Amino acid sequence: MSRALRLAVILAVGLLPSVGWAQIDFPKTGYHAAMGDSVAAGEGAMPVTHGYAFQLYDRGVFGQKQAMDFSNLSVRGGRSWDLRDHQVAQLLCATPRPSVVTITAGANDFLRGDFNVPAIASRVVEAVNILLNNGTPFVPMALTVLDPITGLPCPRLTNVTILVSNYYSIPHPIPAIAEQLDMALTGFDLVLSVLLPQVPRSDGSRVEKVDLYTPSLGRQGLVIIERRLGFEGPLDFDVHPTNIGHTFIAQQFKQKWLSLQ
C-alpha cells in the first residue's frame, strides 16, 4: 500500500466517528399521531411518503419538525373497525402521548359493502371517544382498552387536539354511481358533524372536524379516478388522492389547525 493510500485510509477511518456524532437530537415538545385508512397512510401519492399526514409533519404544521415526534398508525384497507378496535389501543397503551391526532377513516367500510353509513361514522366517533375517555363511564366496558399486562384501562389522552376529516368528492363518470357515492359522503359528514361535538373532553383537549368535501366540489385533479388507469369500469376505480389531492388534504388540516390557534 502506498504512503498516500495509507494516509487516505487513516483519514477516512478517523472521520467516521465525527460523521455519526454530527447528528443533533432536539428535545421533543409535541407528537403528531396519524390514524386511519390508506388515505391517511399516503396511498395514491408518489412516493407514499408525500401523503398528507407526512406533509403535515414535514412542513412543520403542528410544530417545528426538529421538536416533533411523528408516527403513522394508518393501514391500507383499514376500516372503522380497525381504527376503533386496533389503532386506538396501540396509541393509548404506548408512550409518549400525542399532542395532535389526525384521523381519516370510514370509506373502506362503504366501498367493501357496508352501506350503513351512520354506523360507520359512529364507529369513527367511538374511536375518538375512547381516546379521550378510556377508563371512564363514558366508554362502555366492552370497548374499554386494557393494558395486556396489568389488566387496567390504558390512560386516556389529555391536552390533545384530535382532527377528524370527512372525505373529498369522488367524481365518478357514471351519474347513478356518482349520486350513490355523494349520498354516502354527505351522510358520513352529517353524522360526524352531529356526533363529534357530543364527545366529552377534558380541559385542554379539542375535537374538530376537517371538511374536505365542500372545498373539493368542482375541483379537478384531486382523485386518481380522473387519471389514466384510474377508471377501468363502473365498479373498478381508484378513489385515492393524487399528489395534488394529498396536498389539498394537508392544506385543509392546516387551515383548521391555524383557526384554533
For residue 223, what pLDDT is reported? Answer: 97
Averaged pLDDT, 1-26: 51
Alpha carbons 231 and 222: distance in angstroms, whole number: 14
Cell 377508471: give the residue. Answer: 231
For residue 213, what pLDDT is reported? Answer: 98
pLDDT at 22 over 60: no
List b or e across 57-74, with b for residues whose CB sees 16 or more CB atoms inside 10 angstroms: beeebbbeeeebebbbbb
For residue 9, what pLDDT is reported? Answer: 42
Cell 399486562: give the residue. Answer: 149
Rounded to two decimals, what is the model's pTM?
A: 0.89
For residue 24, what pLDDT is reported? Answer: 61
The values of phi and psi at residue 76, to 5°, are -65, 130
- Are 122 and 98 within 8 A, CB to CB? no
- Are 100 and 62 within 8 A, CB to CB? yes
- Are 67 and 29 within 8 A, CB to CB? yes
Using 50, 70 and 90 to split pLDDT, how confident is the model at 4? Answer: low
Using 50, 70 and 90 to split pLDDT, how confident is the model at 232? Answer: confident
State the fold for domain 26-259. Rossmann fold (3.40.50)
Q: Taking the CB of residue 241, how many other CB atoms lie within 10 A of it?
A: 28
Domains of the chain: which residue ranges?
Answer: 26-259
Using 50, 70 and 90 to split pLDDT, how confident is the model at 79? Answer: very high
- Taking only the tens place, the pLDDT of each residue in 102-151 is 999 999 999 999 999 999 999 999 999 999 999 999 999 999 999 999 99
- Are 224 and 241 within 8 A, CB to CB? yes
For residue 18, what pLDDT is reported? Answer: 47
Rounded to 5°, the CA angle 96-148-74 comes to 50
Using 50, 70 and 90 to split pLDDT, how confident is the model at 25? Answer: low
List b or e across 194-213, with b for residues whose CB sees 16 or more CB atoms inside 10 angstroms: ebbeebebeeebebbbbbbb
- Are 35 and 101 within 8 A, CB to CB? yes
- Lowest mean pLDDT segment, chosen from 9-23, 59-73, 173-187, 188-202: 9-23
DSSP helix/strand/coil, 102: strand
pLDDT at 155 over 80: yes
